[in-house]
Structure 1
Amino acid sequence: MLHIERFQVNMLQENCYVVSDDTLECVIIDCGAFYPEERKAITEYIRKNNLKPVHLLVTHGHLDHNFGNDTIYQEFGLKPEVAQGDEKLMKGLAHQAETFYQMQLDTHFPPIGHFFEEDEVIKFGNHEFTIIETPGHSNGSVCFYCEAEHVLFSGDTLFKSSIGRTDFPGGSMFRIINSLRLLGMLPDETQVLPGHGEATSIGEELAHNPYMDR
């Protein structure tokens, strides 16, 4: 059974998830931890629970989902894994800081460790995630789906009663609507854990989210 710990981090209240199972292997999804106390909370949680991080997974290349990648690399030796469509964003995180946050970062972000492929399976412990390509919020946005437990980590593609913005470079309303139609084919009981805000389900979003249409 999955154990999912959520950390709300940085100035945009991004959701970072640490996901583990009984083997104590874990994956870290979207480590946007910016402030020192946020970084410490995540690393201390992992150590106090004797977890072994084996993947640093990234739903997309926006800075608020990647602020803390350097800490995960320094503490656990993991490099971010991301879709190739967001390679430019990942290599330009410092530029994003200047452009969108008016910040000068002296962070040494780790290099990309792996590019996802469509339908790739990420394994850890006794569980696995399927990569679902969901472009629209960014060119390389993906979701992580655990079919065995009907859990979807949706990044900024799907929120409770809303969707991610499409007005950033690489964004597309046409593409995100197509991605939402793909997600709408998942079982209604699928729990959706988004990059911002509270959890929801596919069934709830099909019923109430104006952007979703089966």
Structure 2
Amino acid sequence: MLLRTVEAPLLGATCVLVVDSDARVAVVDAGGGVAERILRIVDREGWTPVGVLATHGHVDHTWDSGRLCREWAVPLHVHEADAYRLAEPFGTLGPLGGQLRAMSDLPGPVEPPRVATFTAEPDAPRPLDVGMTDQLEAWHLPGHTEGSTAYLVHVDGVRTVLTGDVLFAGTIGRTDLPGGDERAMADSLRRLAMLPGEVQVVPGHGPRTSIAAELRSNPFLRAAH
């Protein structure tokens, strides 16, 4: 598989284009302000869109999902525990939601015409069928939100995990927002810490890293190991 990342104008959320060996593309975390750029890239490269995925339901990671889903007539895939957030993208964030609405001059989010929920489990990654030739796995890692999900793919033979807002370079996602759970986050980090060190990490914000690098320098992952 091939990965290409685009940084969203809204809070710098990382949008990831996952492209398989048959030039089919799934877009993970279409944050605020990325839609036009993603449409241009996909059209220029001649890729075939098969779906949009969300690592979790926070609006800075789903803002432009509905636009892409409508343009391509594809579903939005999200863990069933976070699907409720799509109908109330600001209200489910508590006070932060109102702040985001006020700070952005972007066109407001629109609901995708079709939502495909799934029930990935926390015990281990499971294959998720999104219409791609190469395997994509979903791993339920709650804590930041109830339905937070990591996606695992192989890029040039190297396993790569898209962690959303569970794990960042040097730190982790918040657990103090509605739906956050500190204990669940600790369990999720323990599971991530068990991955081989060579696994590459693409977080929902900030630079890429690896499990090995985070076990050396990230106090939260080290504590969970």
Count residues with an aligned counterpart.
210
- SS at the partner of 2:32? coil
Alignment of 1:36-75 (within 5 A): 38-75=34-71
8 Å CA contact 1:116, 1:131 repeated in 2: no
Judged with a 3 Å threshold, the aligned counterparts in structure 2 of structure 1 residues 74 and 22 are, in CA distance, closer, same or farther, namely: same
Q: What residue is the counterpart of 2:19 in the other structure?
A: 20
Aligned 1:58-207 pairs, distance under 5 A: 58-95=54-91, 99-103=98-102, 106-118=108-120, 119-123=125-129, 124-146=131-153, 149-207=158-216
Structure 2, gaps ≥5 residues long: none
Whole-angstrom distance in 2 between the partners of 1:21 and 1:204: 27
Secondary structure of 2:67's counterpart equals helix
Moved more, 186-195 or 108-117: 108-117
Q: Contact 1:133–1:140 (CA<8 Å) still a contact in 2?
A: yes
Q: Report the TM-score, using the length of structure 2 for normalisation.
A: 0.86
Q: Which runs of 4+ in 1 moved over 6 A?
A: none
Asked if the contact 1:120–1:131 (Cα under 8 Å) also holds between the matched residues in 2, the reply is: yes
User: Is the 8 Å Cα contact of residues 121 and 128 (structure 1) preserved in structure 2?
Assistant: yes
What secondary structure is seen at the aligned counterpart in 1 of 2:136? strand
Q: Which 5+ residue runs of structure 1 have no aligned equivalent?
A: none
Q: Secondary structure at the match of 1:128?
A: coil
Aligned-pair RMSD on alpha carbons? 2.0
Give 1:92's aligned amino acid: E
1:117 alignment partner AA: T
CA contact (8 A) 2:67 2:110 kept: no
Question: Is 2:51–2:77's contact at 8 Å kept on the other side of the alignment?
Answer: yes
How far has the Cα of 1:112 moved from its partner?
5.0
Give me the identity figure in percent: 29
Q: Secondary structure at the match of 2:55?
A: coil
